[in-house]
Amino acid sequence: MLRRDIFITYMIIVLISLSITGFVTVKSVEKYFIKNTEDTLITHANVLRGILAPEFKAQQIPSTAINEKIRKLSNDIEARITLVDLNGQVIADTERSPDELENHGNRPEIEMAYRGKIGKSIRYSSSMGTEMMYIAVPVINDGSISAVLRLALPLSQMGRLSKYIWGVILSSNLTGLIISFIMSTIFSRRITKPIEEVAQAAKGIAQGNYDMKIPVTATGEIKVLAESFNHMAENLYKTISELKEGKDKTEAVLGSMTESLVAVDDKCRIIMVNSAAEKLFKIKREKVLGRHLLEMLRNRELYDLVKDVVKNKKYMSQELKIITSEEKIFYINIVPISGEKSSGAVAILRDITDLRKLEKVRTEFVANVSHELKTPLTSIAGFVETLLDGAYKSQDHCLYFLNIIKLETDRMTRLINELLYFSRIEAGISFKKTHVDLIEVVMKALSVLQTAIKEKRHKVNLDLPDTIKPILSDEDSLLQIVINLLDNAIKYTPDEGKIHIALAETHDEVIITIADNGVGIAENELDRIFERFYRVDRARGGKIRGTGLGLAMVKHLVKGLGGKITVDSELGKGTTFRIFIPKA
C-alpha cells in the first residue's frame, strides 16, 4: 500500500519534471531560431535595399528586368523577395508573377515599412502553404520612400527542428522514466521494507508475542524507529513477564489456601475468587468474574456484611452459618481494600464446623465423665452415711456396705485408668513393636478373666493352631484388645454361655475372632457401640454396669496398629468381633 503510493508519487514527479524540461527546451530553441532568422533576414534586407535603391531613381517604376535581378539575389540568400510599390501593388516577386498576386498594401509588415520602420510578421501563407516569417524595409531614395522590399522565409525548418528536439527529449525522457521506474521500485522497497517489518512486529506484539524483534537493517530515522521499537518490545516483555510471574504467585498462594476468598469492587462485583471459594459455592471463576456478588453466591447475609464493609471501609469479622449441601459454620473476615483507582473488599471464610463439633464433643465428654464419677461417689457417700448413722454396729451390715463401697471405688479407679489410657492414646502413644506370639496373648487374657468366666460358668471353646509365627506388633495393646472383647463377651452373655476364640492367618495378617451366644446388639446400634461412653444397657437400664469406654479404646488401638475391626451380631443370638492385625 505504502510502497505503491511512494512509487506512484515518485513516477508523477519524474513525469512532470521531464515534461516541463522538454517544453521549456523546445520553446527556447524555437525562440532562438526565430530571433536568429529574423536577424539574418533584417541584415539581408538592409543590404538588398542598398543594392536595389538605384533602380528607383527619380521615382521610376523599374523595368521588368528587375525580376531577373532579384531572382539571382534570392538564390544567394535562399529567401523569397517581393517588391511592393507605394500603392501596395507587387512590382516584382521571386516566386510568382506579379499579375497573379493581389494588393499587398494591407499586410502588417508592409504597412510598418511604409511608415519608415522595419516591418515584421509571422503567419501562415496560403500561397506558400506554410508558416512564414516576413521582414519588410522601405527602399529609400533621396530621403523619401520609393517602394518596400520584403523578404520571406518559410519556418518549416523550425517545425522540423522542434520535432527533432521533441524526439530527442521524448527518447531521453523514456530512458529517464525506465531508470526512475527501476530506481523508484528499489527506493520504495528500501523505504517500506523496514516500515513493513515494524508493522509486522507491532502486529505480533498485539497478538501477544512480546518477544518479537525487528532486524535492524535500515539506516537513519527508520533505524532509530526500529531500535526504539525493539527497546519498547523488550521493556513490554519484561513488564508483562513480571506481572505474569506476580499473578502466578498470587494465584498459587490463593489456590493453596484452605480458606475461601472472594474479592469484590466498590459495586460489589466479583473481581477474584480462589479455588476453595469455587468449591464452597459451586461456582466457576470464569463465569462469576465481573458479576454481582448477591446474584452469584445467593447469600443475603454475606452480601449485607460485604456491602457494609465496602460502604464504611471498616474491617469486620463474625461467625456465619452457610447452607450449601450441608450446614456449615464459617468464621468470616472482611477487609476493605482501597487502591488508586478502585476500592472494594476481600472476604475470607474459614470453615470452623469441625472445630465447633470438636468443642461440642469435648463438653459432652466432660459432662459424661462427671456423670460417670458422680454415680459411684453418690452411692459411696450414701453408704458411708448409713454406716455413720449406726449401721457400723452390725458386723454383717458393715461388711456388706464396705464391699459395695469397694466395688464402687474399683469402678471409679477403672474409669480413671481408662481415661488416662485415652489421654495417652490421644497424645499419640508410641507402640512398642516386638515379636508377639498371639497364642500367648490369648492365654494371658484368659487367665486374667478366669475368675469371671468361672463365676458365670461359661464354656470357652478355643480354636488355636499349635504354633503361629510371631508377628511384629505391640503386645500390651493386643492384650488390652483381647481382654476388652473377652470381658464384653463374658459380661453380655447369660450364665452358662458359650464363648468361642479363634486365631487364623492370611499371608499378610492375622485374624482374631471372639464370639459369644449372648444378648446380641440391635442393628441400629452396631455403629454406635464404638463411641465413647456409649452403652446399650444404659438405655435399657440393665443391671450390668460398664463405663462404655472399652470398645472405643479397642477401636483406637486397632487403628493404631494398622488393623481393622468388624462386628456381626443378632439380638438374642450372640455377637462376633473380628480383628485383623497386619503381620508386620
Ligand X SMILES: Nc1ncnc2c1ncn2[C@@H]1O[C@H](COP(=O)(O)OP(=O)(O)OP(=O)(O)O)[C@@H](O)[C@H]1O
Q: Which residues bind Mg ion (CB under 5 A)?
A: 488, 546, 550
Number of neighbouring beta carbons within 10 Å of residue 150: 26
Closer Cβ to ligand X, 433 or 578, answer by number: 578
Q: How far is the CB of 534 from ligand X (least distance, A)?
A: 6
- 422 counts as binding ligand X under rule CB under 6 A: no
- 184 counts as binding ligand X under rule CB under 6 A: no
Closer Cβ to Mg ion, 187 or 533, answer by number: 533
Q: How far is the CB of 371 from ligand X (least distance, A)?
A: 14
Q: Which stretch binds ligand X (CB under 6 A): 14-22, 92-100, 435-443, 532-540?
A: 532-540
- C-alpha cell of 472? 511384629
- The answer for 222, left when phi > 0, alpha when psi is -120 to 50, beta otherwise, is alpha
- 345 counts as binding ligand X under rule CB under 6 A: no
- 119 counts as binding ligand X under rule CB under 6 A: no
Q: Exposed, middle or buried, 348 (CB in 10 Å: 0-12/13-18/19+)?
A: buried
3 state DSSP class of 141: strand
Q: Pick from ligand X, Mg ion, none: which does 518 bind, CB < 5 to 8 A by kind?
A: ligand X
Q: Pick from ligand X, Mg ion, none: which does 581 bind, CB < 5 to 8 A by kind?
A: none
Q: How far is the CB of 551 from Mg ion (least distance, A)?
A: 6
Q: How far is the CB of 503 from ligand X (least distance, A)?
A: 18
Residue with cell 451366644: 517
- 133 counts as binding ligand X under rule CB under 6 A: no
- 518 counts as binding ligand X under rule CB under 6 A: yes
- CA dihedral (139, 143, 145, 149) in degrees, to 10, reads 10
Q: How far is CA 264 from CA 243, 275, 571, in A?
A: 21, 16, 59
Pairing of strands 90-93, 574-582: unpaired
Pairwise CA distance, residues 22 & 170, whole Å: 8
The residue from 80, 150, 458, 535 that contacts ligand X (CB under 6 A) is 535
- 449 counts as binding ligand X under rule CB under 6 A: no
Q: How far is the CB of 582 from ligand X (least distance, A)?
A: 24
Question: Is 170:15 a contact under the CB 8 Å cutoff?
Answer: no
Pairwise CA distance, residues 191 & 197, whole Å: 11
Question: Is 136:149 a contact under the CB 8 Å cutoff?
Answer: yes
For the chain, helix, strand, coil in percent to 5 are 55, 20, 25
| Per-residue three-class SS string for 252-283 | HHHHHCCCEEEEEECCCEEEEECHHHHHHHCC
The residue from 147, 153, 551, 581 that contacts ligand X (CB under 6 A) is 551
Closer Cβ to ligand X, 135 or 549, answer by number: 549
Closer Cβ to Mg ion, 74 or 488, answer by number: 488
- 550 counts as binding ligand X under rule CB under 6 A: yes
Closer Cβ to ligand X, 405 or 499, answer by number: 499
For ligand X, how many residues bind (rule: CB under 6 A)? 21
The residue from 173, 260, 477, 488 that contacts ligand X (CB under 6 A) is 488
- 480 counts as binding ligand X under rule CB under 6 A: no
Q: How far is the CB of 376 from ligand X (least distance, A)?
A: 13
- 547 counts as binding ligand X under rule CB under 6 A: yes
3 state DSSP class of 107: coil
Q: Pick from ligand X, Mg ion, none: which does 575 bind, CB < 5 to 8 A by kind?
A: ligand X
Give me the residue whose beta carbon is nearest to ligand X: 546
Q: How far is the CB of 402 from ligand X (least distance, A)?
A: 23
Q: What are the counts of helices (DSSP H) followed by strands (DSSP E) for the chain?
A: 16, 17
Q: Pick from Mg ion, ligand X, none: which does 549 bind, CB < 5 to 8 A by kind?
A: ligand X
Closer Cβ to ligand X, 347 or 536, answer by number: 536
List alpha helices for 313-394, DSSP H.
353-388
Closer Cβ to ligand X, 429 or 567, answer by number: 567
Which residues between 492 and 511 bind ligand X (CB under 6 A)? 492
User: For residue 474, which of 507, 505, 441 has the smallest C-alpha distance?
Assistant: 441
Closer Cβ to ligand X, 444 or 500, answer by number: 500
Pairing of strands 498-505, 564-570: unpaired
Question: Is 22:28 a contact under the CB 8 Å cutoff?
Answer: no
Question: Is 578:566 a contact under the CB 8 Å cutoff?
Answer: yes
Q: How far is the CB of 546 from Mg ion (least distance, A)?
A: 5
- 548 counts as binding ligand X under rule CB under 6 A: yes
Closer Cβ to ligand X, 422 or 580, answer by number: 422
- 489 counts as binding ligand X under rule CB under 6 A: yes
Closer Cβ to Mg ion, 277 or 512, answer by number: 512
Residue 562 is classified by DSSP as T
Question: Is 559:581 a contact under the CB 8 Å cutoff?
Answer: no
Q: Which stretch binds ligand X (CB under 6 A): 118-126, 144-152, 288-296, 484-492?
A: 484-492
CA atoms within 13 A on the CB side of 451: 1
Q: How far is the CB of 450 from ligand X (least distance, A)?
A: 18
Beta carbons within 8 Å of 3's beta carbon, 6+ residues apart: 188, 189, 191, 192
Report which residue type is found at 302. Answer: L
Q: How far is the CB of 549 from ligand X (least distance, A)?
A: 4
- 263 counts as binding ligand X under rule CB under 6 A: no
- 408 counts as binding ligand X under rule CB under 6 A: no
Which uninterrupted H or E stretch holds 347?
strand 343-351
Residue with cell 441400629: 524
- C-alpha cell of 542? 440393665
Pairwise CA distance, residues 281 & 271, whole Å: 15
Q: How far is the CB of 416 from ligand X (least distance, A)?
A: 12
- 512 counts as binding ligand X under rule CB under 6 A: no
Residues of the shown chain interacting with ligand X in the complex, contacts defined by CB under 6 A? 488-489, 492, 516, 518-521, 529, 534-537, 546-552, 575
